[in-house]
Structure 1
Amino acid sequence: MRLDEYVTFDGTGLAQLLAKGEVTPRELGFCVEQAVEAMNPTLNAVIELYPDALKALPETASDGPFHGIPTLTKDFPIEAGRPAEFGSRLAQGFRASVDAVYWKRLREGGLVNVGRTTSSEFGVPATTESPLYGATRNPWDPARGVAGSSGGAAAAVAAGIVPFAQGSDGGGSIRNPASFCGLIGLKPSRGRVTGAPNSNAPLLGLSTAFMLTRSVRDTAALLDLCHGPDAGDGYEIAPPEGTYLEAMQRAPKELCIALCTQSWSGTPIDPEVAAAARSAAERLASLGHHVEEASPSFGYAAFLEAQKIIWAADAAADMPAMAKQMDRNLEDTLGATVVGLYRWGLGLSAAQLIDALAVYDQLTRQVGRFLAGYDLLLTPTATIVPEPIGTFDPNRAGIDADGVFDDLAPKETFTALFNATGQPAISLPLGRSQAGLPIGIQLVARFGREDLLLAVARQLEEELGSGPGIWGQGQPVVHAGNF
């Protein structure tokens, strides 16, 4: 298979070719190698490929619905024995000790991990520009960034290196890179994808793992493979009725959708972003849905303070543990952003953490009551278009915890709330700036309603997907199809 042919298929399309014997997993691995060789010098999205995994790719389709498709995972602990350095000099050389349960399910479904992608340091900074690996660049304009923290995954998928890649989302870290790179980025409901064996849901319930994709059918099929609790999980989310692939095909009718383009944080919204959100609302109205302007009512300042406390408490616990395990001096090896958050976390009390969690409980009720009156909420994903590399330098001297979250505000204004409250949210490639940069639009559903998000996303995809590229966007400047 030629590289220019490979990039025209999503994962489902490649799986169909594998099932027919028209291509082999080893051939697909060679395409991945070619694409990385051609584009990674510009993008800096892939840290490394695993020669043993590529060599082991078979000459015939393997088991599972994806039949041996090679993919990439984030620089976090996912697969036992693989490097997991969190984009940090502190963790350099660290390896995952166990398989993540959801990853085992994906691997059993035919996915093969052949390498790892860049992340912001420990998933904290607003941009994928780490002290360990440097800046990851946007395939649509290499002078611009890819947001964080699953930035390398987004760049690799957008550039055609792989049809989908693994990421994680603790405040928007799947949705914002998807927005900046013109992809589909789903953050499932809390508990939909287990954090086992290490937790029920990581980061005190804020974070979840999943995949960045180029098609809704891939998103649905991947969620079908990996969702569900593991034995011993502290709670279990209600399973879907049927499969997500089936749900995707049921076109929804006459949904009641709330449109919000008013910044909850006070961070200004780029006019092109606001216009893209309104255009998406108009498109949904043209499909027969009812759209009206409305917003959940909550105290953003209290929410933000609670988020700072939870993130900082997590840093204060995890960074010394990593330093001890790696036998390194913490402050000599961490970047300035993570140091600033860690130092603030050291001064927190147990009572402050309990109070922060209580704020999140209240927010969950407020947002739940709001969504009881609507099927969906539509917002921008980020308040800005992709910014030039270096705009939010995560390693600048003197940055403190407030500065960390000031940097995050343009990306997290609309996304982080739903990590707090647990509802599923998805970023869809529905907008373009005048300069041709992608603009993602976020849809949020009631708790546990990934099925509805996927059905609406598919409805939109059918309207927009006839042109070249993802949803008719055309191809990025840096793309494997150009080589």
Structure 2
Amino acid sequence: MSPQEYSSMDATDLARLIREQHATPKELLDLALARYHRLNPQLNAVCQPMIDIARKRVGEPLAGPLAGVPFLIKDAIQDYAGMPTGNGSTVFSRIPARRHSHIVQRLLDAGAVIFGKTNTPELALKGVTDPEAFGRTVNPWNTAHTPGGSSGGSAAAVAAGIVPMAGANDGGGSIRIPAACCGLFGLRPTRGRVSVGPAAAEIWEGASSDGVVSRSVRDSALALDVLAGPNVGDPFQIAGAQDSFVNLAQREPGTLRIGFSTRSPVDTPVHPEAIKAVEETVALLQSLGHEVVEAEPDYDGQALARSYLMLYFGQVAATLDEARTMGARDEEFELLTRVLAAFGRSMSSARYVASHRQWNSFSQALGQFYQQHDLFLTPTLAHPPIRHEQAQIPTRQAKLLHNMLRSGALPTLSRWGMLDNMVNDMARKNLTYVPFTQLANLTGTPAMSVPLYWTEKGLPLGVQFCGPVGSEGRLLQLASQLEQARPWKDRWPAMATEAE
């Protein structure tokens, strides 16, 4: 098999070649590693290589729907026994996982050949991928721009053709955002569809779901078939699908009533190209016979943004407190991480619970919306993939925050309620580029980013479809129809084709 043939095939095709004995697992691994060695120095997509483990694995008998397919997992949540799950942090990169996560075990049982872990921002907290511990990951379409986050390493590796799909997770858009930035398909499953056990019961109060980023809809359907299901001891389980997701994805979606909006829920500007991406999608949907109307759920976007930030505060504080019990110091974490933790430590438990109770109002609003509409269409991002420097904290602000942390003023002022305006400003600014994705997380509903649009400068800019709980089958059906109507699989960044 040639390098061009390898990169042009999705995981479904590669698995078929293995089954039909037209290729061997070792051959596919060699091809994947050749692209990795050629491209990763530019991309910085893989932060923890596992090459020796993979070479040993291809010498063993492999069986299952992904037998022999090269694969990468995200360096967050997706534990591989004996390897650290670094979470973009020097602290956690010192601690090896005691056992495989449910996700990794499912992939191994399906025959996947895992040869590395992909880069993520510290604690998977941002929509860009720039951890101080492992360095910045770049977008294969234009290295001056972000690949998104927090699954940016996975998205960059798939977009560059190192692997056909890679592990990802999504607690605020972290599957959909990098998929949108890198021209990939990304489906965030319903809460509880894929277990994150056994090391955790749920991630971020159930707001986070695990899945993949991929180049084809059928690969994401296949991955969901492999990954879906509970782990012993899970606190929350949902009913399985009536058929395999691969089979469901092959069926026609029927005529759907789809509501759409291009208005930012936090009333920040939306770039004209993000609006154009939705408008072109609306026209495409109408040409396919769907009923598309301008409509949006009736919820308070600013309240959702504050609730989401409160989740950050509490979760980051608890994580850094846990790190302290292992002998780590706060100073070993990045400035933004420490600021979030300081807010979390100053927040009362009553305030955290009150914020969490608001999630129900968002679920109720979305549930009412789905009484009249099958799906909800928005931009995935409010702006094309940003340049790296746009994600950096301004020097003056960073110095102020550092001094407030060092003096102890930040948590004190927060407890007195004197920083509420700063919190509201953070909620607004942090979500300026990504205001559309968090609704699915706080309501536990599935959502997908579909790569239907490229900007005038040649950057991908996906559109998002959200659905009610358990509607992954319908989302996959629509995505398959859109993929057939406007194929994206053969669109490649120049970096990827030059590497062949």
Structure-2-length-normalised TM-score? 0.92
**1:317 and 1:137 mapped to 2: Cα distance?**
30
How many Å apart are 1:323 and its aligned residue?
3.3
Give the equivalent residue in structure 2 for 1:270: 271
Tell whether the 8 Å contact from 1:337 to 1:395 is kept in structure 2 after alignment. Answer: no
**1:126 and 1:248 mapped to 2: Cα distance?**
28
How many Å apart are 1:289 and its aligned residue?
0.4
Give the equivalent residue in structure 1 for 2:416: none
Counterpart of 1:391 in 2: which secondary structure?
Answer: helix
Counterpart of 1:291 in 2: which secondary structure?
Answer: strand
**2:127 and 2:227 mapped to 1: Cα distance?**
27
Give the equivalent residue in structure 1 for 2:32: 32
**2:90 and 2:394 mapped to 1: Cα distance?**
13
Counterpart of 1:33 in 2: which secondary structure?
Answer: helix
Counterpart of 1:113 in 2: which secondary structure?
Answer: strand
Shift of the 199–48 alpha-carbon distance from structure 1 to 2, 3 Å rule, reads closer
How many Å apart are 1:208 and its aligned residue?
1.2
- Comparing both chains, which one has the higher relative contact order based on Cα–Cα distances under 8 Å and sequence gaps of 6 or more? 1
Give the equivalent residue in structure 2 for 1:341: 340
How many Å apart are 1:333 and its aligned residue?
1.2
How many Å apart are 1:90 and its aligned residue?
2.7
How many Å apart are 1:481 and its aligned residue?
5.9
1:104-143 paired onto structure 2 within 5 Å: 104-143=105-144
1:315-394 paired onto structure 2 within 5 Å: 315-325=316-326, 327-330=327-330, 332-393=331-392
Please, which of 436, 440, 449 is the counterpart of residue 427 of structure 1?
449
1:168-247 paired onto structure 2 within 5 Å: 168-247=169-248
Shift of the 385–464 alpha-carbon distance from structure 1 to 2, 3 Å rule, reads same
Please, which of 478, 492, 496 is the counterpart of residue 475 of structure 1?
492
**2:38 and 2:425 mapped to 1: Cα distance?**
37
Q: What letter matches 1:451 in structure 2?
A: G
Tell whether the 8 Å contact from 1:200 to 1:233 is kept in structure 2 after alignment. Answer: yes
User: Quick check: 1:449 aligned with 2:475?
Assistant: no
**1:13 and 1:103 mapped to 2: Cα distance?**
21
Tell whether the 8 Å contact from 1:340 to 1:401 is kept in structure 2 after alignment. Answer: no
Give the equivalent residue in structure 2 for 1:289: 290
1:46-65 paired onto structure 2 within 5 Å: 46-58=46-58, 62-65=62-65
Shift of the 403–145 alpha-carbon distance from structure 1 to 2, 3 Å rule, reads farther
Q: What letter matches 2:152 in structure 1?
A: G
Structure-1-length-normalised TM-score? 0.95
**1:480 and 1:69 mapped to 2: Cα distance?**
21
How many Å apart are 1:231 and its aligned residue?
2.6
Gaps of 5+ in 2: 402-421
Cα shift readout 1:350-377 (whole Å, capped 9, x = no counterpart) = 1111111110012111111111211110
Counterpart of 1:18 in 2: which secondary structure?
Answer: helix
Tell whether the 8 Å contact from 1:80 to 1:99 is kept in structure 2 after alignment. Answer: yes
Tell whether the 8 Å contact from 2:306 to 2:424 is kept in structure 1 after alignment. Answer: no
**1:51 and 1:233 mapped to 2: Cα distance?**
32
How many Å apart are 1:406 and its aligned residue?
4.4
RMSD: 1.7
How many Å apart are 1:477 and its aligned residue?
2.1
How many Å apart are 1:118 and its aligned residue?
0.6
Counterpart of 2:451 in 1: which secondary structure?
Answer: strand
Cα shift readout 1:7-31 (whole Å, capped 9, x = no counterpart) = 0100001001111111111111111
How many Å apart are 1:480 and its aligned residue?
5.7
Of 125-134 and 291-300, the range deviating more from structure 2: 125-134
Tell whether the 8 Å contact from 1:73 to 1:166 is kept in structure 2 after alignment. Answer: yes
Counterpart of 2:83 in 1: which secondary structure?
Answer: coil
**1:157 and 1:436 mapped to 2: Cα distance?**
18
**2:199 and 2:353 mapped to 1: Cα distance?**
21
How many Å apart are 1:138 and its aligned residue?
0.4
Give the equivalent residue in structure 2 for 1:418: 440
User: Quick check: 1:82 aligned with 2:83?
Assistant: yes
Q: What letter matches 1:43 in structure 2?
A: L
Tell whether the 8 Å contact from 1:184 to 1:428 is kept in structure 2 after alignment. Answer: yes
Gaps of 5+ in 1: none
Give the equivalent residue in structure 2 for 1:11: 11
Q: What letter matches 1:476 in structure 2?
A: P
Tell whether the 8 Å contact from 2:35 to 2:499 is kept in structure 1 after alignment. Answer: no
Of 26-35 and 397-406, the range deviating more from structure 2: 397-406
Counterpart of 2:172 in 1: which secondary structure?
Answer: coil
How many Å apart are 1:320 and its aligned residue?
1.9
Cα shift readout 1:192-220 (whole Å, capped 9, x = no counterpart) = 11121133431111111111111011111
How many Å apart are 1:178 and its aligned residue?
0.4
**1:54 and 1:188 mapped to 2: Cα distance?**
28
Counterpart of 1:341 in 2: which secondary structure?
Answer: helix
**1:210 and 1:428 mapped to 2: Cα distance?**
15
Give the equivalent residue in structure 1 for 2:303: 302
How many Å apart are 1:403 and its aligned residue?
6.5
Give the equivalent residue in structure 1 for 2:258: 257
**1:126 and 1:208 mapped to 2: Cα distance?**
16
**1:371 and 1:184 mapped to 2: Cα distance?**
23
**1:249 and 1:48 mapped to 2: Cα distance?**
36
Of 52-61 and 90-99, the range deviating more from structure 2: 52-61
Query: How many pairs does the alignment contain?
Result: 476
Tell whether the 8 Å contact from 2:452 to 2:461 is kept in structure 1 after alignment. Answer: yes
Give the equivalent residue in structure 2 for 1:69: 69
Tell whether the 8 Å contact from 1:3 to 1:480 is kept in structure 2 after alignment. Answer: no
Tell whether the 8 Å contact from 2:88 to 2:120 is kept in structure 1 after alignment. Answer: yes
**2:428 and 2:24 mapped to 1: Cα distance?**
47
How many Å apart are 1:154 and its aligned residue?
0.3
**1:233 and 1:49 mapped to 2: Cα distance?**
30
How many Å apart are 1:312 and its aligned residue?
0.8
**1:438 and 1:424 mapped to 2: Cα distance?**
22
Q: What letter matches 1:462 in structure 2?
A: Q
Give the equivalent residue in structure 1 for 2:407: none
Of 183-192 and 303-312, the range deviating more from structure 2: 303-312
How many Å apart are 1:401 and its aligned residue?
5.7
Counterpart of 1:39 in 2: which secondary structure?
Answer: helix
**2:458 and 2:59 mapped to 1: Cα distance?**
40
